């Protein structure tokens, strides 16, 4: 079995204002930095054998708060980077609603059919994270692995792990600085914990439903 901890990065500078980030690279907000510290403290006494992270600042700086308690290096992993939002990147949710109204509706109601102009499709994200999960299962059997990623690849990973259709993409909670625990077994995967944030206390902020 692999104990897989899936962790969403702490709050970025753009999360509170509802700005699409994609492959753009804002850092953690001041609240996000403290969220990451609390996350790191929580994981201090949990066995972790390897830490992977999307190479963007908001994920790497979250992962480093866990790694510094573990004596581990954070391994950059492009397969778990955020979806490329293409022309949406850098826009506020309200701006996207006005400029790309039909695709915004589709993103919320039919995410499996979305391909962002000058960006990625959800299916492409699904394929790369599924490949990464297979790699982790083969390389880290019998170990515990932390993966720090973003809301879109994480939800895609849940779909891949449970072998459910991407149309169910929005069915999984994914708040900033949350973690989920999945037991990857030989013939099935079991979500043991989902979207845990209890250690954040007064720093908890519910994720924007469109991000």
Tell me how many helices (H) and strands (E) the chain has.
Answer: 6, 6
CATH (domain of 160): 3.40.50.1240
Q: Are 5 and 146 in contact (CB under 8 A)?
A: yes
Nearest to 157 by CA among 80, 87, 93, 83: 80
How is residue 33 written in tokens? 């930095």
The reply to whether 14 falls in a domain is yes
d(CA 162, CA 158): 6
How is residue 78 written in tokens? 């492009």
Domain count, the chain: 1
The reply to whether 210 falls in a domain is no
Catalytic residue numbers? 9, 150
pLDDT in 10s for each residue of the chain, 211 residues:
999 999 999 999 999 999 999 999 999 999 999 999 999 999 999 999 999 999 999 999 999 999 999 999 999 999 999 999 999 999 999 999 999 999 999 999 999 999 999 999 999 999 999 999 999 999 999 999 999 999 999 999 999 999 999 999 999 999 999 999 999 999 999 999 999 999 999 999 999 988 8
Tell which phi-psi region holds residue 102, choosing left (phi > 0), alpha (psi between -120 and 50) or beta: alpha
Could you tell me which residues come within 8 angstroms of residue 187 by beta carbon, excluding any fewer than 6 positions away? none
d(CA 181, CA 84): 26
Q: Are 70 and 49 in contact (CB under 8 A)?
A: no
What is the residue range of 158's domain?
2-203
Q: How far is CA 152 from CA 79, 143, 169, in A?
A: 12, 25, 8
d(CA 67, CA 50): 9
């Amino acid at each position: 079995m692999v104990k897989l901890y899936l962790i969403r990065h702490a709050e970025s500078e753009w999360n509170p204002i509802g700005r699409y980030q994609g492959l753009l690279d804002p850092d953690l907000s001041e609240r996000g930095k403290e969220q990451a510290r609390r996350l790191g403290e929580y994981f201090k006494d949990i066995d972790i054998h390897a830490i992977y992270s999307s190479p963007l600042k908001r994920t790497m700086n979250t992962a480093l708060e866990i790694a510094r308690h573990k004596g581990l290096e954070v391994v950059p992993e492009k397969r778990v980077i955020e979806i490329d939002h293409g022309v949406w990147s850098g826009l506020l949710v309200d701006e996207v609603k006005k400029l790309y109204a039909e695709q915004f509706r589709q993103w919320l109601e039919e995410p499996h059919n979305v391909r962002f102009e000058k960006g990625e499709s959800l299916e492409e994200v699904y394929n790369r994270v599924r490949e990464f999960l297979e790699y982790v299962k083969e390389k880290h059997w019998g170990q515990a692995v932390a993966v720090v990623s973003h809301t879109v690849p994480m939800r895609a990973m849940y779909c891949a792990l449970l072998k459910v259709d991407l149309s169910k993409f929005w069915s999984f909670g994914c708040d900033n600085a949350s973690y989920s625990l999945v037991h990857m077994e030989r013939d099935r995967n079991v979500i043991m914990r989902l979207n845990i944030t209890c250690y954040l206390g007064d720093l908890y902020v519910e994720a924007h439903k469109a991000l």
